[in-house]
């Protein structure tokens, strides 16, 4: 059998010149937020595929709209409440003179997306503006920490047959470099479906069997006629950012975000469901000074996204909440 995807150094989104990442992880319950920052501004796009998204300032990223550069992307837990974390990022950036020149000051542009982690611990604890501010203060160009951190602290995967049979998700990151151009991705994976190995189609983490010791394989279980547990819409969602140092137009950035969803489709099954708000942003810093063309960049974006999604469950660790919910990690089942 092939080795689990990926092998060796998977890279990270901060290998893209001009990109910084910072996490805030709440110590009171598993939740938090993650900022992907481009202080000098980056051409941006977005593609929303899930039917239950929670987002902020995504309309301005449409290719026909005016603003073509953003200064950060905020990813957060806490469902719609977590969108407040972006306000903290705006304040942090404004204090440092970063933002769009609006004559009377500089306005930081910070789109955001959230995932639902309110079933993991006390739902009254959610990322807020202070959390977003702290994530920015922690940002650096070092390889980001993965697993139970930031927006992925309360992430869970494989909930089709109930959260009691699910497993721990998290944050993962990866990058691909071709001919001096890098494309990287950072994914907070809180998918309703299973995470699968893109190379072998083997289930890596997701819905567990009734005894909790094995993997059910959600796709095959559904096709056998096993009924899913009734689902509350929007209680899942995978969110993330794909970034490149290639030169991009706003239209190309939009297409790159679309292509990145191919990576989710290769690494999550089922994906883009009525109960997920799957949203991916794209950033182009232009620091490489060239472009490889959209065929190559799109291929790299999908690859980095799939790899980062896998990394999210590989790096995750088990959680037991005060309420008694146990969420094992991939490493626990393999062990």
Q: What is the pLDDT of residues 276-317, one digit of tens each?
A: 999 999 999 999 999 999 999 999 999 999 999 999 999 999
Mean pLDDT of 239-243: 98
Angle 105-111-112 (CA atoms, 0-180°, nearest 5)? 135
Q: Residue 6 above 90 pLDDT?
A: no
Number of other residues whose CB lies within 10 A of the CB of residue 322: 8
Q: What is the per-residue pLDDT for 335? A: 53
Question: Considering the chain, what is the average pLDDT of its residues?
Answer: 94
Mean pLDDT of 11-39: 97
User: What's the CA gap between 185 and 245, in Å, rounded?
Assistant: 12
Helix (H) or strand (E) holding 56: strand 55-56
Q: What is the per-residue pLDDT for 9? A: 85
User: What's the CA gap between 304 and 109, in Å, rounded?
Assistant: 25
What proportion of the chain, given as a percentage, has pLDDT over 70?
97
Distances (CA, A) of 71 to 19, 106, 261, 268, 305: 10, 11, 22, 29, 21
Tens of pLDDT, residues 95-146: 999 999 999 999 999 999 999 999 999 999 999 999 999 999 999 999 999 9
Q: What is the per-residue pLDDT for 3? A: 35
User: What's the CA gap between 66 and 52, in Å, rounded?
Assistant: 26
Tens of pLDDT, residues 31-59: 999 999 999 999 999 999 989 899 999 99
Q: What is the per-residue pLDDT for 328? A: 97
* pTM of the predicted structure, to 2 decimals: 0.95
User: What's the CA gap between 287 and 304, in Å, rounded?
Assistant: 19
Tens of pLDDT, residues 164-174: 999 999 999 99
Q: Hey, what domains does the chain have and what are their CATH numbers? A: 16-334 (3.60.70.12)
Helices then strands, each counted (H, E), the chain = 6, 18
Q: What values do phi and psi take at 65, rounded to 5?
A: -95, 165
Q: What is the per-residue pLDDT for 8? A: 57
What proportion of the chain, given as a percentage, has pLDDT over 90?
92
User: What's the CA gap between 307 and 282, in Å, rounded?
Assistant: 16
Mean pLDDT of 198-227: 95
User: What's the CA gap between 101 and 98, in Å, rounded?
Assistant: 9
Distance of CA 308 to the CA centre of its chain: 9
Query: Taking a C-beta distance cutoff of 8 angstroms, is the pair 280, 111 a contact?
Result: no
Query: Taking a C-beta distance cutoff of 8 angstroms, is the pair 215, 334 a contact?
Result: no
Q: Residue 90 above 90 pLDDT?
A: yes
Angle 55-23-129 (CA atoms, 0-180°, nearest 5)? 55
Find, among 34, 238, 71, the residue nearest to 146 by Cα: 34
Distance of CA 282 to the CA centre of its chain: 11
């Amino acid at each position: 059998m092939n080795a689990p995807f990926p092998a060796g150094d998977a890279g990270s989104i901060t290998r893209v010149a001009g990109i910084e990442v910072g996490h805030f992880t709440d110590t009171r319950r598993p939740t938090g937020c993650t900022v992907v920052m481009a202080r000098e501004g980056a051409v941006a796009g977005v593609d929303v595929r899930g039917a239950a998204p929670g987002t902020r300032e995504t309309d301005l990223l449409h290719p026909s709209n005016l603003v073509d550069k953003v200064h950060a992307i905020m990813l957060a837990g806490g469902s719609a409440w977590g969108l407040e974390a972006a306000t903290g990022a705006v304040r942090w950036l404004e204090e440092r003179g970063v933002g769009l020149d609006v004559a009377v000051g500089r306005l930081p542009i910070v789109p955001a997306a959230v995932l639902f982690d309110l079933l993991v611990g006390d739902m009254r604890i959610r990322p807020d503006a202070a959390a977003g501010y702290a994530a920015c203060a922690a940002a650096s160009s070092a390889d980001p920490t993965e697993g139970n951190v930031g927006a992925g602290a309360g992430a869970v995967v494989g909930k089709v047959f109930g959260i009691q049979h699910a497993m721990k998700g998290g944050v993962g990151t990866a990058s691909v470099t071709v001919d001096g151009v890098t494309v990287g991705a950072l994914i907070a994976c809180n998918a309703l479906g299973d995470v699968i190995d893109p190379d072998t189609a083997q289930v890596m983490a997701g819905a567990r069997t009734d005894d909790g010791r094995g993997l059910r394989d959600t796709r095959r279980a559904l096709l056998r006629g096993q009924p899913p547990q009734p689902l509350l819409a929007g209680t899942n969602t995978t969110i993330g950012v794909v970034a490149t140092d290639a030169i991009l137009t706003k239209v190309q950035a939009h297409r790159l975000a679309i292509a990145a969803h191919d990576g989710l489709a290769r690494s999550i099954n089922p994906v883009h469901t009525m109960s997920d708000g799957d949203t991916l942003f794209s950033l182009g810093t232009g620091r490489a000074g060239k472009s490889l063309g959209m065929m190559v960049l799109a291929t790299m974006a999908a690859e980095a996204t799939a790899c980062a999604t896998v990394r999210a469950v590989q790096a995750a660790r088990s959680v037991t909440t005060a309420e008694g919910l146990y969420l094992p990690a991939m490493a626990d089942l393999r062990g």
